[in-house]
């Protein structure tokens, strides 16, 4: 996805591109064909609502920028309500044909096993969640083992403004921290014994997903799914991530909780909080139901749900600059899922930016900063600095990544707020696209 879009954008700007793809010579457990831009699982680009949905807004921005992935998806769209679903084979075949027939693009079928040196010129690594072993090793050698993950163990992320603060309270365990901000860094949700027991029952009963063949994970300490912890013993969680010690309920100071669920700030804006230690293999429907049993989270809206998947990604907030370049080797850019965005659309979007940035560099220009108020800019800012590097996990685009706007509360207020976000984003994106000289477009 990202590599195809990046190649297209750079070539459309007039810059020659060599696109290396290891398939079909070297396969992965998820891909089935040798086509470029193969959709490995769902055939959906998710919501196409560009007024009320952040991923729909990203579609809009990609269309405005002449995106190859989105325009080909539009050509091969299938009826899917408000979603943009596509005929996956026709889609990938057309992308492959358009890239292979572009006069400025050469497609080479080979595996890249080492980081190209500066002589190669600007390089974009967009090898995705299933980056081949040799290249992953080379990346780890350059960035440090700690900066490359092979699984994402994602805890659910909640929009702060959907938490009931009449129940939850802000406090770090044992009030640790030098500043008031640090002493109140966590959001705490208390449980009585009865609530805890009901929660454990629901967790044990919930439907779970299985690993695919070839994806098997050895769970490592500190990364066990909560349901696996609960299977090991009903009290395990209240001695682990749900331990109630060092915390005093500010609403009911005399009441000792049996267990406390903690949420930690997930972005610099303070609009998103992740549920600490709650990585899970529960199915999405079950997660929403079970997590809304947590006192204070009854009406929680989830920016993303939890999961554990095979996924290779780098610690972008520490490794990449605002131009998506590797700080230690600035001739190399990263794009796509390997940068810690999640999903076909987000990956293609980061490819679009990386392709344009690399092309501008070849032409001796630097693109102006991508506006933070756009979906593109919000995602880019998140991965290159806004996210907490210590807990960095792949992220879908969502309005929690945007600078907040004021609007009424309730359902009506939410719709109003989304419209303000999307109007603001569209204006900023239009301005960005026209703020630099249009580049020569070559024939398709
Ligand atoms: C099992 C699975 C299911 C998924 N399901 C969904 C879903 O339903 N919806 C969704 O939105 N997202 C899904 N994703 C995430 C999805 O993979 C990404 O969103 C998207 O494909 C990532 O785009 P990308 O361009 O970063 O990587 P990819 O689309 O994977 O492209 C990377 C390309 O690089 C090639 N490559 C890897 N290593 C090398 C190398 N060393 N040399 C040369 N080429 C190499 C690969 O063959 C691949 O073609 C899923 C991911 C996985 C692993």
Q: Alpha-carbon torsion 317, 322, 327, 331, what sign?
A: positive
Q: From the CB of 324, is ligand 1 less than 6 Å away?
A: no
The CATH-assigned architecture of domain 2-152+310-433 is: 3-Layer(bba) Sandwich (3.50)
Other CB atoms within a 10 A radius of the CB of residue 408 amount to 11
Q: From the CB of 128, is ligand 1 less than 6 Å away?
A: yes
Q: From the CB of 334, is ligand 1 less than 6 Å away?
A: no
**How far does the centroid of ligand 1 lie from the alpha carbon of residue 150, in Å?**
13
The ligand 1 atom at the shortest distance from the C-alpha of residue 45 is 11
Q: What are the residue ranges spanned by the domains of the chain?
A: 2-152+310-433, 157-305
- Sheet arrangement for strand 169-170: 169-170, 186-191, 259-265, 272-275, 157-159, 302-304
Ligand 1 pocket test, candidate residues 4, 95, 127, most atoms within 8 A of CB: 127
Quick one: tokens of 124? 């974009």
pLDDT in the model for residue 406: 81
CA pair distance 119, 162, nearest whole angstrom: 51
Q: From the CB of 47, is ligand 1 less than 6 Å away?
A: no
Predicted TM-score of the model (pTM):
0.81
pLDDT in the model for residue 438: 52
Buried-state track 238-248, b at ≥16 Cβ within 10 A, e below 16 = bebbbbbeebb
Q: From the CB of 131, is ligand 1 less than 6 Å away?
A: yes
**How far does the centroid of ligand 1 lie from the alpha carbon of residue 32, in Å?**
12
Quick one: tokens of 170? 């802000």
CATH fold, domain 157-305, is Elongation Factor Tu (Ef-tu); domain 3 (2.40.30)
Other CB atoms within a 10 A radius of the CB of residue 285 amount to 11
CA pair distance 69, 62, nearest whole angstrom: 8
Quick one: tokens of 177? 């921290």
Q: From the CB of 112, is ligand 1 less than 6 Å away?
A: yes
Please name which of 301, 147, 278 lies closest in space to residue 203, comparing C-alpha atoms: 278
What does pLDDT average to in each consecutive run of 10 residues of the chain (444 residues)? 98 98 93 94 91 97 98 92 88 98 98 96 96 95 88 86 97 89 92 98 93 58 81 95 96 97 87 91 95 98 87 94 96 97 97 98 94 97 90 91 83 85 98 77 48
pLDDT in the model for residue 444: 47
Task: Report which protein residue has its CA nearest ligand 1's atom 35.
Answer: 127
**How far does the centroid of ligand 1 lie from the alpha carbon of residue 183, in Å?**
40
Quick one: tokens of 53? 């949905």
Please name which of 138, 312, 155, 314 lies closest in space to residue 224, comparing C-alpha atoms: 155
Q: From the CB of 227, is ligand 1 less than 6 Å away?
A: no
Residues in contact with 390: Cβ distance below 8 Å, sequence separation at least 6, in sequence order? none
Buried-state track 151-176, b at ≥16 Cβ within 10 A, e below 16 = bbbbbbbbbbebbeeebbbbbbbeee
CA angle in degrees (0–180, nearest 5) for 164-378-135 = 115
| Helix or strand (DSSP H, E) at 5 | helix 2-12
Task: Report which protein residue has its CA nearest ligand 1's atom 13.
Answer: 343
The ligand 1 atom at the shortest distance from the C-alpha of residue 127 is 34
pLDDT in the model for residue 443: 44
CA pair distance 399, 53, nearest whole angstrom: 8
């Amino acid at each position: 996805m990202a590599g195809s879009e990046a190649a297209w954008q750079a070539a459309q700007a007039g810059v020659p591109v060599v696109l290396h793809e290891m398939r079909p010579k070297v396969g992965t457990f998820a891909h089935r064909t040798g086509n470029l831009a193969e959709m490995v699982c769902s055939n959906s680009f998710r919501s196409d609502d560009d007024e009320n949905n952040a991923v729909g807004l990203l579609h809009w921005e990609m269309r405005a920028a002449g995106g190859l992935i989105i325009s080909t998806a539009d050509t091969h769209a299938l009826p899917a309500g408000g979603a943009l679903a596509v005929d996956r084979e026709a889609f990938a075949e057309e992308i492959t044909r358009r890239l292979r027939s572009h006069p400025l693009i050469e497609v080479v079928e080979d595996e890249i096993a080492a980081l190209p040196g500066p002589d190669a010129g600007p390089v974009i690594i967009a090898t995705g969640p299933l980056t081949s072993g040799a290249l992953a090793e080379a990346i780890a050698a350059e960035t440090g083992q700690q900066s490359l993950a092979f699984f994402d163990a994602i805890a659910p992320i909640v929009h702060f403004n959907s938490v009931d603060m009449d129940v939850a309270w802000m406090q770090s365990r044992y009030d640790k921290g030098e500043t008031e901000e640090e002493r109140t860094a966590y959001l705490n949700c208390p449980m009585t014994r009865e609530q805890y027991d009901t929660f454990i029952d629901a967790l044990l009963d919930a439907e779970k997903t299985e690993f695919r063949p070839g994806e098997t994970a050895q769970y490592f300490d500190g990364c066990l799914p909560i349901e696996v912890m609960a299977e090991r013993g009903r009290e395990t969680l209240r001695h682990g991530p749900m331990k109630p010690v060092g915390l005093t309920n500010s609403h009911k100071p005399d009441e000792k909780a049996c267990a406390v669920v903690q949420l930690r700030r997930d972005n610099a804006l303070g609009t998103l909080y992740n549920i600490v230690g709650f990585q899970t293999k529960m199915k999405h429907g079950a997660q929403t139901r079970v997590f809304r049993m947590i006192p204070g989270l009854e009406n929680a809206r989830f920016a993303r749900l939890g999961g554990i998947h095979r996924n290779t990604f780098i610690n972008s907030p520490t490794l990449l600059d605002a131009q998506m370049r590797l700080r230690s080797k600035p001739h190399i850019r990263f794009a796509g899922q390997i940068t810690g965005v999640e999903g076909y659309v987000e990956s293609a979007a980061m490819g679009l930016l990386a392709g344009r940035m690399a092309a501008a560099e070849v032409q001796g220009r630097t693109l102006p900063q991508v506006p933070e108020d756009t979906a593109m800019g919000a995602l880019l800012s998140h991965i290159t600095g806004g996210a907490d590097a210590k807990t960095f996990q792949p992220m879908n685009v969502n309005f929690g990544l945007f600078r907040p706007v004021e609007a009424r509360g309730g359902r009506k207020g939410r719709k109003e707020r989304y419209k303000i976000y999307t109007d603001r984003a569209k204006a900023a994106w239009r301005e960005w696209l026209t703020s630099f000289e249009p580049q020569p477009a070559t024939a398709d």
